[in-house]
């Protein structure tokens, strides 16, 4: 079993960076709107309504950014899931495309490809053993056929000997018979 590998920039750190950037962008724009845009252009609107609207837009903006950033994490997993379904249905000839980054998802893809390689080797070994076994069965069937022919010949010879014996025993005088 492999020892646990430590990644310099693994998924945990990537998520921390993503959430931090998302918060930085959202809070920066929210502050910009509440402290500079509101007084300059929207001072005629109630401040509470503007603040709630700005926060709602910040939540929406965060959700949109998170949705697009999530594809960075989800796409490699979807490819791996697709490869796993293909392997489960017997199609093990293709390997999963690996992400470029060195993280846990890539390690999972590498391990999955190793598993597919081992499965292909096992299937090839089974097919090879099947061929050898099939040849052996054919050889045994051939030898069995020859043995059956010889047994049939022996049975016919024994039957002929029995006929000759019966014929001879009928021709012998009674005193010579046992």
Contact 80, 96 (CB under 8 A): yes
Rg, C-alpha atoms of the chain: 42
- Condensed to tens digits (0 to 9), the pLDDT of residues 92-112 reads 898 988 888 888 888 899 999
Among 90, 91, 95, residue whose Cα is nearest residue 80: 95
The answer, yes or no, to whether residue 38 has pLDDT greater than 60, is yes
Taking the domains of the chain in order of start, what are their residue ranges?
Answer: 11-126
For residue 172, the model assigns a pLDDT of: 66
Query: Which pLDDT value is given to residue 32?
Result: 93
Whole-angstrom distance, CA of residue 64 vs CA of residue 141: 71
**Residue 7 near residue 104, CB atoms below 8 Å:** yes
Spatial CB neighbours of 69, under 8 Å, sequence gap ≥ 6: 18, 22
Question: What would the pLDDT profile of 125-165 be if each residue is shown by its tens digit?
Answer: 988 888 888 888 888 888 998 888 988 888 888 888 888 77
Alpha helices in the chain (DSSP H): 11-32, 38-41, 47-88, 104-171
pLDDT of residue 153: 87
Distance CA 108, CA 51 (A): 45
| Mean per-residue pLDDT, 120-124 | 91
Flag whether pLDDT at 6 surpasses 80: no
Q: What are phi and psi of 175, to 5 degrees?
A: -70, -25
Contact status, residue 107 vs residue 118, Cβ threshold 8 Å: no
């Amino acid at each position: 079993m492999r020892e646990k590998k430590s990644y310099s920039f693994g998924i945990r750190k990537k998520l921390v960076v993503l959430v931090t950037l998302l918060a930085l962008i959202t809070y920066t724009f929210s502050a910009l709107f509440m402290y500079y845009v509101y007084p300059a252009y929207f001072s005629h609107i109630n401040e509470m309504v503007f603040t709630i609207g700005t926060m709602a837009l910040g939540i929406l903006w965060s959700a949109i950014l998170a949705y697009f950033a999530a594809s960075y994490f989800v796409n490699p997993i979807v490819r791996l899931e697709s490869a796993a379904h293909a392997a489960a249905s017997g199609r093990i000839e293709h390997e999963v495309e690996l992400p470029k980054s060195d993280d846990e998802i890539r390690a999972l893809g590498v391990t999955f490809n190793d598993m597919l390689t081992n499965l292909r080797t096992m299937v090839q070994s089974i097919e090879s053993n099947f061929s050898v076994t099939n040849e052996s069965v054919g050889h045994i069937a051939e030898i069995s056929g020859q043995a059956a022919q010889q047994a049939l010949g022996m049975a016919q010879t024994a039957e002929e000997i029995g006929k000759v014996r019966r014929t001879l025993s009928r021709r012998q005088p009674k005193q010579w018979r046992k």
